[in-house]
Amino acid sequence: MEQRALGTQGLAVSAIGLGCMGMSDFYGADRSADLESTATIQRALDLGVTLLDTGDFYGMGHNEMLIGRAIQGRRDQAILSVKFGALRDPSGVFIGFDGRPAYVKTSLAYSLRRLGVDHIDLYYPARVDPNVPIEETIGAVGDLIKQGKVRYAGLSEASAATVRRAHAAHPISALQIEYSLWSRDPEDEVLPTLRELGVGLVAYGALSRGLFGGAIGSTPGDGRAHFPRFQGDNLTANLALFEKLKQLGAQRRDSIAARDGVGARARPGHCAHHWHAPAQSFGRKYGLRSCSTLCSRACGDRTGDSARRRGRREISCAQHVDRESVNRLDHRSLDSIN
């Protein structure tokens, strides 16, 4: 498995990571499938995946305990990436974020116990607490690094300005943020800032929360139902875009599909995966600019997070477009973009 450097502090991870959230929460997770989830984590390690991403609030601790069992005897093969700070009530409802230094250190103590490890590799606040200066939150993570309990500091869903402030307080190795063909807003300010500062990017939702894999259903407990992008007319329009993406992929008889061993046609997931690839000239040659232009027309905000609706929003959201403009799209107009 290809390795990628995250930041300039020495952290290296597999190019593809395993996000474990859905094994415990949000996407209609079935807790009775813990054996399957454990086997998935262990198979990922077998294949050379090292980055395992979780949060202490995923399944309210369940996800960390699941990972802890899965990596027993294999700790040296895993890079544990843990988010903290999200607050939930006994029913599981989110009630805010806490970035106070004392909470940072308390959260770390519980995560170490649930994971059954003596340190966490990459530790970062799940969101920026608007009531606590980011310098204080990251400063607490820095203290834990000095104690050997954490190896590297990160951020999640933070603005370019916040990344700068945090990085000035303590070196930031990575920013985790949703970034895909469907979610392009980090390109405006965040990505240039990361490049300037030497901060790595952990892009989650590369398959647009399952949409590019055709995994959108009505499973009870599926948290995507609360996101504007997966609601009502927005979802109808986005599924229409997805069908156009499938048609575009089917037209591309190229080395993408041949290399991945899936026959002669590229699937939406392949388009999404290769769009992330560093070789942008490869993408232009095989029509991924067409995919990119198509997906820039996604309808609805990518998240229902109210923090993004503040005047000083952390991350801007995707634009809204009307369904008629989506229906007017055809491959001739897309091909003319190349």
- pLDDT value of position 222: 65
> CA triplet 82, 45, 147: central angle to 5 degrees?
35
**Worst-scoring range by mean pLDDT, 26-35, 61-70, 232-241, 264-273?**
264-273
* 97 φ/ψ angles, rounded to the nearest 5 degrees: -135, 150
- pLDDT value of position 278: 45
Is the Cβ–Cβ distance between 295 and 269 less than 8 Å? no
Is the Cβ–Cβ distance between 174 and 7 less than 8 Å? yes
> CA triplet 146, 132, 311: central angle to 5 degrees?
135
Residue 58 falls in the annotated catalytic set: yes
- pLDDT value of position 64: 97
- Does residue 19 sit in helix, strand or coil? strand
Q: How confident is the model at residue 234 (pLDDT cuts 50, 70, 90)?
A: confident
pLDDT in tens, 193-209: 999 999 999 998 777 66
Domain boundaries, the chain: 3-206, 228-335
**Worst-scoring range by mean pLDDT, 60-69, 81-90, 149-158, 283-292?**
283-292
pLDDT in tens, 77-90: 999 999 999 999 99
Is the Cβ–Cβ distance between 38 and 70 less than 8 Å? yes
CA distance 297 to 305: 21
- pLDDT value of position 244: 73
- pLDDT value of position 314: 43
- pLDDT value of position 313: 41
Token pair recorded at residue 72: 């027993």
Please state whether beta strands 11-14 and 3-6 pair in parallel, antiparallel, or not at all (unpaired).
Answer: antiparallel
pLDDT in tens, 165-190: 999 999 999 999 988 777 788 888 99
Q: What percent of the chain has pLDDT over 70?
A: 64
Q: Kindly state the average pLDDT of the residues 9-14.
A: 96
221 against 281, higher pLDDT: 221
| Torsion angle (degrees, nearest 10) of CA 95, 64, 81, 305 | -20
Which range has the top average pLDDT, 132-141, 175-184, 220-229?
132-141
Mean pLDDT of the chain: 78
- pLDDT value of position 241: 75
305 against 20, higher pLDDT: 20
- pLDDT value of position 338: 26
Short-list 102, 101, 18, 93, CA closest to 57:
93
CA distance 177 to 186: 8
**The listed CATH number (3.40.1190.20, 3.40.630.10, 3.40.50.920, 3.20.20.100) that belongs to domain 3-206:** 3.20.20.100
Q: Kindly state the average pLDDT of the residues 94-102.
A: 95
Active-site position among 58, 123, 124, 179: 58
**Worst-scoring range by mean pLDDT, 150-164, 281-295, 314-328?**
314-328
Q: Is the pLDDT reported for residue 327 higher than 50?
A: no
pLDDT in tens, 17-76: 999 988 887 665 566 788 999 999 999 999 999 999 999 999 999 999 999 999 999 999
Token pair recorded at residue 268: 């939406």
CA distance 265 to 56: 40
Q: Is the pLDDT reported for residue 237 higher than 80?
A: no
Short-list 44, 54, 52, 50, CA closest to 3:
50
